[in-house]
Amino acid sequence: MPELPPQDGLLGSLLVLLGFGADWCCYDLHLLKNPLPERPGQRGSTECLQRAVLKLLHYLFHTRNHTFILLHLVLQGMVYSEYTCEVFGYCRELEFPLHYLLLPYLLLIVNLVFFTLSCVSNPGTITKANELSFLQVYEFDEVMFSKNMKCSTCNLRKPARSKHCSVCNRCVHRFDHHCVWVNNCIGAWNARYFLLYLLTLTASAGTMAVVSTVFLVQLVVLSDLYLETYVDDLGHFQVVDIVFLIQYLFVTFPRIVFMLGFVVMLSLLLGGYLCFALYLAATNQTTNEWYRGDRAWCQHCPHAARPPSAEPQVYRNIHSHGLWSNLREIFLPATAHYERKKN
């Protein structure tokens, strides 16, 4: 079964964090192509539906398009519109500090800058002109990356840590993954922009969640609602509990509570993916290397099936040189180091 390029986003983040990768996508498409038995009368319409779904999935995840960029901007615009129209106005009436309320807007501006850079910047495309310089940047480990390997599509020698992206149809230096949310590959030259984009996006969602939560809590405290009692279905007086407070706030401020639930969920997902991305940066790994290294580790398990004559080759990360050196390589790509030494 062919291996697909790593993807990200909400679904991709969950798959990466749960330990799944490209094979999950292949398995999913395999189920669509080989469904459960069906009645003869349903066959024609079912096949048409399957073809339509496969075409849609292929367009969304395996061709370059701006669908997820537009979706990203629409969702971000809706959340900030709700924050501006509802939370900001109420918080001003409660005399919240202005700089506290303006922090999400500052994070939005910074986030959009790094989002744009992630979308339009060159990830490190390998061409005939720079092929030789890229070949000298990283050492070949002869396990995951072997010398004298050629890309069958680009007809170029493959530098260590590079990979051909089937979506962009190009080989990328220090390939990490193809991100549908920025419609671009993440490689050596734009990994810093993507990491800062992810950091500011997580921070903006978390900040709005904190502001909205503080507003609702202060509203409950100022109104002494938590001291009240209510009559239950049996006619007994009950002290207000957390479930009743949430129900009351949802009925009174449905849009704010719904937005709060969305940004809290988003903060958790993005926070988990950010921790994973920071771990990869701190250990000088890419998503592609982590995924392939994880599979290589699984193939060395005692129960893993492999030919009896095959000798095990243990993958070892030879590119990690300490935390600060690894982070410096993200923000000052290794190609720049090499060019400076050569001069």
The residues that are catalytic are 179
User: Which pair of tokens denotes residue 272?
Assistant: 């988990």
Within its chain, how far is the Cα of 119 from the centroid? 14
The backbone region for 138, taken as left when phi is positive above 0, alpha when psi lies in -120 to 50, beta otherwise, is: beta
Q: Bridge-partner residues for 330, per DSSP?
A: none
95-101 contact pairs (CB < 8 A, 24+): 96/211, 96/214, 96/215, 100/211, 101/211
Residue 158: count other Cβ atoms within 10 Å of its Cβ: 23
User: Which pair of tokens denotes residue 313?
Assistant: 């080759």
Cβ proximity of 22 and 3 under 8 Å: yes
Cβ proximity of 266 and 1 under 8 Å: no
User: Which pair of tokens denotes residue 13?
Assistant: 């983040």
DSSP state letter for 6: P
User: Which pair of tokens denotes residue 335?
Assistant: 């190609």
